[in-house]
Structure 1
Amino acid sequence: MATLVDDRLAADGPRLTGLVLAPPTIVAMMERLRADASGISVMAQFGISDNSWRKLRLGKPVRASMIERLLQRLEEDCLPKDGD
């Protein structure tokens, strides 16, 4: 059974296991970022496969470890930093 990942997943919190659903707000943000970078592959932009991207958009569960890596990458590369 899939669980919902909290948008504010703490880096030092407990690790997620199994299959989870991505927060809809994260998927919506990624879709907006994809629209602005149509010539860039999903792997280059987010570090995930086309298959994982398809599952996220369809609301299907994905591996928790993939979501953790994705959220970390989004925080590092795509979200505005404090003071920006």
Structure 2
Amino acid sequence: MTFFPEQTPRPSNEEIVIPFTPDLLNELQLNLSHKDQIISQLAKNVQQMEVKLLRNSKLTQENSNESKKAPRKSTDKSNSNCRTSSK
């Protein structure tokens, strides 16, 4: 495997030093702020989905209970118009 000079592997115990300039710190703060906003929005979305799922679950349970109480009348009228011919 050939390494270019800038890609030479470092020993694992060598520390990487990044100079924290004011611009870099500002950018990091903006990124953190942006991530916080995204996390907050995701949390709101999750709450909304939980509410919708709970509603759907309750509706499904209500429909299930109603169907157990009384069987639904068939709305299929395909046989109601059949006439038998008498010869």
Same fold (TM over 0.5): no
Structure with greater helix share of residues: 2
Structure with a larger share of its residues in strand: 1
Give the TM interval when normalised to the shorter protein.
Answer: under 0.3
Q: If the length of structure 1 is used for normalisation, what is the TM-score?
A: 0.23
What TM-score do the two structures reach when normalised by structure 2? Answer: 0.22
- Give the structure with higher Rg (CA): 2
